[in-house]
Chains A and B, each alone.
Chain A
């Protein structure tokens, strides 16, 4: 079966006074219909730039997408489309939700109108029908009184309700793929659990694929089928959720899991990762994680590993895969 989304050697950067800076560097990934891929990374890893570049939502310039890159949606290379054609894919094929729902909603327009507007943009319906569809969408995302809520302005809703509205607006074009960039990071844990349950439920009911971008390994464990880990502009590991979270192959994933505080693990000292994430203006030589890696040896600083695969859909970008005995000690 052909994948719904296939990203090949995607390189995205920004022109800066100091020259071009590649923030996403040769990333390849695939997403099947109805599948949920968790993309994990810390700030500066390039994960949000990747999310935006999928619909060419970045201003070019200063952003640029390397000509060798391909983003195929259902077999169509989105990067080869003219702007007019590309627009028909945004919202209808791929839709986005972001961390801060307030920023994607207009403060002076009733939320019902905002969603109805999105409905009209994607299909040829009258205003009345669009409004009714907006109310339906608000009910779909679990608002108690969708009719009343449609008449509210964003500031009259709580943070959790605003995120539901943003999701409803994203669903207006009936997308096959929802890209959710840190959708629960700004919310309390109780609301986070509600929104994650909602996303899981919508995915089932609408048969949507979900690209969930997060720094939180707990969120990934909750909802993803597969997990890809991003560090310094590169994917470093990919696999099934349980493989990656139970048997991380890359030292970065391993260290991240160890540094994550757990509810049922006590003790004041956490095994922190030394140093800080590198700056995109000067990625380290060799493996980009080597300065912070507990296993690094001379080869790691001079030569960058390629994607070394084990079984299908499971690979790691680390020399340890060729010399597993080094993992001990």
Chain B
């Protein structure tokens, strides 16, 4: 783990513009008990170090169970890591007293996957947006009302919608309300957890465009969790690929998509079906499933599913360290270079 940290030092310039940093984050969930007997813990995160830079969109991708959501929850201080630190704008989140946290909370917000579940069905859209304003003592009464109207306008909704209940809104409108609510506290950092996965294509495109507009206008920093790699391509400036609770590759979006340097990333990208029927189907169909987070094998966690021609005993026995293999492009594959060279 120390190696991972040493191997992944942000440059001095990057550190200056860094907003959030995770340092060697480990999160294990104990499991079992008197009823089920002792079972090994779920190792959700196994030493993740990364920085989110101001104004960028960093995407986290990986299969279910790879640790994306746990990582995001640690970064927002919604769950405490087993080991490691989270630093937000120079402040260690887990050594801060409660009142200070409250102030910091306003600066970071979460946009949930399912807007229907994120909104209280008995609360009008306007009340949902006004609630955080009042809870944080920012504004009340007519002032709060004016702010709600301004926020609705900002997310492209007419002011009359404030009186409607969630069930009277379409999926796209509900997601806009959730975004307006998250923006009400003027945050700098937004975690977008699968923001369009429940929406139809035609509506998803509207929401993605809105998020891009808001980022530009407000200078927001996004952490985007998405399983749809095409959506990531449109939104992200950098991409981190998670596998079994570790970053296996991280780099600038274009670079990573055009020249993946980890066999897992390569397989993920080739699994995405393209609407272009003429696109050549040189697909790597990844067999099997990720290792259980209770029993992560020694060596490279991807060993069992890897299709890399150079795969050998070293991969089975030695955990690969995340190392720089291109400009700001890091891979945790012993044979990253030969993967790139083969193409």
The 6 closest A-B pairs by CB, nearest first: A218-B273, A272-B205, A273-B202, A217-B275, A261-B230, A42-B200
Shortest beta-carbon distance from B319 to chain A in Å? 22
* A108: Cβ under 8 A from any B Cβ: no
Closest to B253 in A: A266
Closest to A221 in B: B277
B271 touches A268 (CB 8 A): no
Interface string of B280-293 (1 = CB under 8 A from A): 00010111010000
* B82: Cβ under 8 A from any A Cβ: no
Closest to B267 in A: A190
Bound-complex Cα distance A260 to B229 (A): 12
B275 touches A221 (CB 8 A): yes
Among the stretches A51-59, A251-259, A302-310, A320-328, the one at the interface with B is A251-259
Would you mind naming 9 contact pairs between A and B with Cβ atoms under 8 Å apart? A189-B228, A190-B268, A190-B271, A193-B283, A197-B285, A218-B275, A221-B275, A245-B276, A263-B274
List B contacts of A159 (CB < 8 A): 64
* A160: Cβ under 8 A from any B Cβ: yes
Other A-B pairs beyond A189-B271, A263-B230, 13, CB < 8 Å: A42-B200, A190-B63, A215-B201, A222-B273, A241-B277, A261-B228, A263-B233, A265-B233, A267-B234, A269-B212, A273-B206, A276-B173, A276-B203
Closest to A276 in B: B170
Bound-complex Cα distance A190 to B172 (A): 27
Query: Given that A42-B200, A189-B227 are known contacts, is A268 also in contact with B275, CB under 8 Å in the complex?
Result: no
CB neighbors of A among B217-258 (8 A): 227-231, 233-235, 254, 257
User: Interface residues of B toward A: which range?
Assistant: 35 or more
Name B residues whose Cβ lies closer than 8 Å to a Cβ of A. 63-64, 170-173, 200-206, 208-209, 212, 227-231, 233-235, 254, 257, 267-269, 271-279, 283, 285-287, 289
List B contacts of A246 (CB < 8 A): 276-278
Main secondary structure of the interface of B (DSSP, over half): helix
* A220: Cβ under 8 A from any B Cβ: yes
List A contacts of B227 (CB < 8 A): 188-189
List B contacts of A218 (CB < 8 A): 272-275
A255 touches B202 (CB 8 A): yes
B230 touches A262 (CB 8 A): yes
B202 touches A259 (CB 8 A): yes
A193 touches B231 (CB 8 A): no
Bound-complex Cα distance A221 to B272 (A): 11
Shortest beta-carbon distance from A109 to chain B in Å? 21
Closest to A241 in B: B277
A272 touches B206 (CB 8 A): yes
A261 touches B233 (CB 8 A): yes
Bound-complex Cα distance A160 to B288 (A): 9
List B contacts of A292 (CB < 8 A): 202
- In this complex, which of A216, A255, A268 has the most chain B Cβ atoms within 10 angstroms of its Cβ? A268
CB neighbors of B among A212-267 (8 A): 215-222, 241-242, 245-246, 255-257, 259-267
B275 touches A262 (CB 8 A): yes
